[in-house]
């Protein structure tokens, strides 16, 4: 019998580096809020329940995006990632299975990544699994410490690392799989970090290891997995990345782009075969373009329907919300 899967998404951060009156996870990447990416990835693997840990500043906005789709736990004060996970425990009472824990600010997580982590976690019969990545120049993330047998013995945050530990190239990507039956009872052994006054979820690795549990790292050398959205620059880079993906998908389906670098295609856009997209065209969410159309140059379309064989250029067309 296949084990059950639940998911907890840690999304209570304020995102002050975004310098915005809007919480960073409510900012959009090509028409899709950042928080949607991890939630949809968890939905895609059939996780149930899905719990989003929010803060007082963003929980109302999240509820509007996911009415009835997920559970919400409130972290009233920003006391760290372990403290955030504690807030979700009430939704996991009596749960037996594997719990995925991931951050809310990474749009690069997807069904494939979470499926790989779950498969690795179960095939290795691990109690705790995490995704790690190796960097030539590591970002300021927790370093992976292993014992002589290659087991993960602890994760040390950069602020607490020694000079020798900072030389380690393998870092934590903040994606976890917990065997809930064995890990949940250890979570409250995590102590407050004296430097930052927070409870680090990474400390559960050392606690589990010292209690004889199996702790493993799935190495996926994808720099994007460790990259969150913290600044406007990060947001722009993510938009460029997914725009390329969306345009490539349309080209593979039979759509031509005269100048792909000058076009923007948001999520939730459909374009029919043999349509040609000319430069400086923006296709916004909810747009439906038929077959054998000519779109652009200089066309902005959002939430509109273009029938087969239409020619549309030098125009802005925006439909109404349903």
Structural Rg of the chain based on CA atoms: 22
**Superfamily grouping for domain 4-226:** Spore Coat Polysaccharide Biosynthesis Protein SpsA; Chain A (3.90.550.10)
What does DSSP assign to residue 304? Answer: -
Structure tokens at 252: 């593979």
Max mean pLDDT range (19-23, 217-221, 245-249)? 245-249
Separation in Å, CA 141 to CA 147, 156, 277: 20, 9, 42
Separation in Å, CA 38 to CA 11, 27, 106: 10, 14, 7
Separation in Å, CA 145 to CA 73, 120, 125, 161: 31, 19, 20, 11
Torsion angles phi and psi, residue 271, rounded to 5: -130, 130
Q: Is the pLDDT confidence value at 196 over 90?
A: no
Distance CA 50, CA 85 (A): 12
Q: How much helix, strand and coil, in percent to the nearest 5, is found in the chain?
A: 30, 25, 45
Helices (H), ranges, the chain:
36-44, 59-65, 81-87, 111-123, 180-183, 203-210, 232-252
Average pLDDT over residues 52-74: 95
pLDDT of residue 67: 87
CA angle 5, 147, 124 (to 5 degrees): 30
Max mean pLDDT range (131-145, 186-200, 303-317)? 303-317
Question: Is 100:6 a contact under the CB 8 Å cutoff?
Answer: yes
Distance CA 174, CA 224 (A): 12
Q: Is the pLDDT confidence value at 2 over 90?
A: no
Distance CA 199, CA 288 (A): 47
- Please state the domain extents for the chain: 4-226, 232-318
Distance CA 322, CA 312 (A): 23
Q: What architecture (CATH level 2) is domain 232-318?
A: 3 Solenoid (2.160)
Q: Which residue has the higher pLDDT, 4 or 141?
A: 4
Q: Is the pLDDT confidence value at 107 over 90?
A: yes
Q: Report percent pLDDT > 90 for the chain.
A: 84
pLDDT of residue 63: 95
pTM, 2 dp:
0.94
Q: Is the pLDDT confidence value at 39 over 90?
A: yes
Distance CA 45, CA 216 (A): 21
Which residue is associated with the tokens 């043999």? 274
Rounded to the nearest integer, the mean pLDDT of the chain is 95
Q: Is the pLDDT confidence value at 114 over 90?
A: yes
Separation in Å, CA 175 to CA 8, 274, 298: 10, 41, 42
pLDDT of residue 1: 62
Q: Is the pLDDT confidence value at 149 over 90?
A: no
pLDDT in tens, 263-284: 999 999 999 999 999 999 999 9
Q: Which residue has the higher pLDDT, 223 or 212?
A: 212
Q: Which residue has the higher pLDDT, 159 or 104?
A: 104
Q: Which residue has the higher pLDDT, 114 or 67?
A: 114
Q: Is the pLDDT confidence value at 28 over 60?
A: yes
Q: Is the pLDDT confidence value at 322 over 60?
A: no
- With bands split at pLDDT 50, 70 and 90, how would you rate the model's confidence at 201? very high
């Amino acid at each position: 019998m296949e084990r059950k899967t639940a998911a907890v998404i840690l999304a209570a951060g304020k995102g002050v580096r975004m310098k915005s009156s809007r919480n960073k996870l409510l900012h959009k990447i090509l028409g899709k809020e950042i928080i949607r990416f991890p939630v949809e990835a968890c939905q895609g693997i059939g996780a149930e329940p899905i719990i989003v840990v929010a803060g007082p500043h963003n929980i109302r906005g999240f509820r509007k995006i996911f009415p009835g789709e997920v559970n919400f736990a409130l972290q009233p004060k920003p006391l760290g990632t372990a403290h955030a996970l504690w807030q979700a425990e009430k939704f996991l009472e009596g749960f037996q299975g594997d719990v995925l824990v991931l951050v809310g600010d990474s749009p690069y997580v997807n069904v494939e990544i979470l499926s790989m982590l779950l498969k690795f976690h179960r095939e290795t019969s691990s109690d705790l699994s995490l995704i790690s990545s190796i960097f030539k120049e590591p970002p300021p993330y927790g370093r992976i410490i292993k014992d002589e047998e290659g087991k993960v013995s602890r994760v040390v945050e950069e602020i607490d690392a020694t000079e020798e530990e900072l030389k380690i190239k393998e870092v934590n990507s903040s994606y976890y799989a917990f065997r809930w039956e064995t890990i949940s009872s250890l979570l409250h052994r995590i102590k407050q970090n004296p430097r930052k006054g927070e409870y680090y979820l990474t400390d559960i690795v050392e606690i589990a290891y010292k209690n004889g549990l199996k702790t493993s790292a799935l190495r996926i050398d994808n720099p994007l997995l460790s990259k969150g959205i913290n600044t406007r620059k990060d947001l722009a880079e993510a938009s460029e990345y997914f725009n390329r993906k969306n345009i490539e998908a349309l080209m593979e389906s039979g759509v031509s782009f005269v100048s792909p670098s000058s076009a923007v295609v948001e999520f939730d856009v459909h374009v029919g075969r043999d349509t040609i997209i000319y430069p400086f065209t923006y296709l916004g969410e909810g747009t439906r373009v038929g077959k054998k159309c000519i779109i652009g140059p200089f066309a902005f379309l959002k939430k509109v329907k273009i029938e087969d064989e239409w020619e549309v250029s030098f125009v802005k067309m925006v439909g109404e919300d349903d």
